[in-house]
Amino acid sequence: MAKKKLNKNWLHDHINDPYVKLAQKEGYRARAAYKLKEIDELDKLIKPGQIIVDLGSTPGSWSQYARNKLSGQDGGGIHGMIIGLDILPMEPIADVHFIQGDFREADSLRQLERLLEGRKVDLVLSDMAPNLSGIAISDAARVEEIIDLAIEFSQQHMKPGGALLAKCFNGTGYNEVLMKFRQEFKTVASRKPKASRDKSSEIFLLGKILKNPR
C-alpha cells in the first residue's frame, strides 16, 4: 500500500513538474536536459567545434542539448561531433552518432575509435547512474564504480585540457569520489542545478584538465 502511495505521489510530482512540462514543450526527451543546460550556462562547457562523448546517453536529452549548442542552424548539421554510448537502445538524433554497447568492451571501443579517427575528445558527459538499492554502502560502491569508469574513459580518450562532467550522489562515499576527482583533475567543482529535484541527493562533479593523461 505504501509503495502504491509513493508511486502515486511520484506521478503527481512528475506530471506537475515545470521542467517536465518545459521538456515536452521544447522537444527534449527528458527533463535532465535542463540540468546540463544550467551547468553549461554557468561553466561554458559546450562550444562549437568540440568533440563530445555522452556516456549513458539514453534516452538522449543531453545529446539533444549538446547538438543544439553545436548547431549552426536548424537542420543544417553541426560544427563538431557528438557520440552517444549506452547499453540501452536510443532513438536516433540528427547529427549524433550512437553506439549501442558497453564502452568497456572491444567492439564498442572499435566503433568509437573509427569515429574519432585518432582525435581526442574535448568533453565527456556522464549522466550514468546505477540502479540504487537503498543500502547505503552497496549503493556508494556502485556509484564509485561508475565514476571510476567515467574517469578512466576520460584518461584514455580525452584531451589533456578537456573536461568531465559526471553525475554523483551526495551521501555515503561522496567524499571518496570527490577525492578521486581531485587526484585526477587540476580543477574540480560540484554543481547542484535547480532542475535537480530537491529530494534527490544527486550532484554533478566537474573536473577540468587531466593531471595524468594517457
Measured torsion, CA atoms of residues 63, 64, 65, 66, in degrees rounded to the nearest 10: 50
10 is in an annotated binding site: no
- Angle between the N-to-C axes of helices 18-26 and 33-43, in degrees from 0 to 180, rounded to the nearest 10: 90
95 is in an annotated binding site: no
Reply yes or no on whether 167 is catalytic: yes
CA dist., res. 203 & res. 99, Å (int): 26
60 is in an annotated binding site: yes
C-alpha cell at 1: 500500500
162 is in an annotated binding site: no
Residue 9: C-alpha distances to residues 31, 63, 111, 112 (Å): 18, 29, 42, 41
CA dist., res. 1 & res. 3, Å (int): 5
102 is in an annotated binding site: yes
DSSP type of residue 121: E
Q: What is the largest CA-CA distance in the chain?
A: 55
Q: What single letter denotes the amino acid at residue 162? A: G
Q: How far is CA 115 from the centre of its chain?
A: 20
The single residue of 35, 37, 69, 167 carrying the catalytic annotation is 167
Whether 56 and 66 have beta carbons less than 8 Å apart is answered as: no
CA dist., res. 39 & res. 165, Å (int): 9
CA dist., res. 211 & res. 214, Å (int): 10
- Return the active site residues: 167
Known binding site for S-adenosyl-L-methionine: residues? 60, 62, 86, 102, 127
Known binding site: residues? 60, 62, 86, 102, 127
